[in-house]
Amino acid sequence: MDSQFDVIIIGAGPAGMTAAVYATRAGLKTAILESGAPGGKMVKTYEIQNWPGIKEISGADLALQMFEHCTHFGAEYLFGEVVQIENEENVKKVLCQDGTVYYSKAVIVATGTKERLLGIPNEEKYTGRGVSYCAVCDGMFFKNKTVTVIGGGNAALEEALYLAELAEKVRIVIRRDVFRADPIIQDRILNHEKIQIIKKHIPIEICGDGQKVTGIRLENVEDRSCVDLETDAIFPYIGADPCTEFIQDLNILDERGYILTNEKMETSVLGIYGAGDCTHKILRQVVTATSDGAIAAQSATSYIKG
Catalytic residues: 134, 137-138
Q: Where are the alpha helices (DSSP H) in 104-244?
A: 135-138, 154-164, 183-190
SS3 78: strand
Q: How many CB atoms lie within 10 A of CB 22?
A: 24
Cα-Cα-Cα-Cα dihedral sign, residues 183, 117, 252, 100: negative
Nearest to 17 by CA among 279, 270, 275, 299: 275
Nearest to 174 by CA among 162, 191, 186, 188: 186
Q: How many CB atoms lie within 10 A of CB 261?
A: 23
Cα-Cα-Cα-Cα dihedral sign, residues 228, 234, 239, 245: positive
AA identity, residue 152: G
